[in-house]
Amino acid sequence: MRVLITGAAGFIGSSVAERLVGRGDDVVGLDNFDPFYDRRLKERNLAALRGAPAFRLVEGELLDAGLLERLLAGVDAVVHLAALAGVRPSLAEPARYMRVNVEGTTTLLEACRRAGVRRLVVASSSSVYGARSEVPFSEADSCDRPASPYAASKKATETICATYHDLSGLGISCLRFFTVYGPRQRPEMAICRFVRLALEGRALPMFGDGSSGRDYTFIDDIVDGTVAALDHVHDAFRIYNLGGSRPVLLRELIAAIERAVGRPVQIEARPPQPGDVPITCADVTLAERELGYAPRVRLDEGLARFVAWYRSQPP
């Protein structure tokens, strides 16, 4: 199978690309190396793929319809992971988030329709569920009150995907990722930032009283679910939760990081942040039934693997 991956140099994109190339697929990667974080980190993500005959990376923009048309020639399926990420940064640039995440996805969908590509997997986010406290979150739950522009852009992405399925018959699976972590995680995300600060002997910022909870999901489990969705997309429109199915309180996460790094950490108390939600927790029943998805990596194991990887990286 020949697959186009958007956002291929990122945390999840490079991990999915390696899995697909490793099993024998041909992969074309698209990434614009947005300066949201250091380009050198994305280049490291691609190290294992550089030189692989079955992988080709193209640097370019998702909003470039002509480029997408050229890249989609001969492609069988698309894994769409490119997006502006992050709840807090979206508060400062809401219009840009809508343009890249919603208009960019629409540009890709239209290019797929024109090129005859019928199979797409599209990244969504657990943030679409908003500031709710009833757990677990099910795909059938109402998602009409996103708590940030980023969350709203991901909900809008799902909606335009559903529209393209209804009008054009595209087979699309939207995956609601729940707080993905592991090797190559973006540097501003909580676990990567906390581990870095802990290893440097600096205080960890704790927003709120530590009672907020997140369903942390190890990257290998997310790759398993993404590849399974790619293999199962046919003519339907589907939304799947991909999560670990166990919320971890912020104070529990900090204690787990202490165990992983082997030293106590200092805490710097800070007020809650706008756009943050109190808890996330995935009901993965649908993904388990239709995709065979089952999260396997527990938090302590995942953190140990992340810390070992982090310590192995060059400065």
For the annotated catalytic residues, the residue numbers are: 150
**Cβ atoms within 10 Å, residue 266:** 10
Question: What does the alpha-carbon distance between residue 7 and residue 91 come to, in Å, rounded to a whole number?
Answer: 22
Percent helix / strand / coil, the chain, rounded to 5: 45, 20, 40
Residues near 259 by beta carbon (within 8 Å), at least 6 away in sequence: 300, 303
DSSP state of 272: P
Position 61, amino acid: E
Residues near 265 by beta carbon (within 8 Å), at least 6 away in sequence: 194, 197, 198, 203, 204, 254, 257, 258
Question: What does the alpha-carbon distance between residue 284 and residue 73 come to, in Å, rounded to a whole number?
Answer: 34
**Cβ atoms within 10 Å, residue 220:** 17
| Six token digits for residue 21 | 């190339």
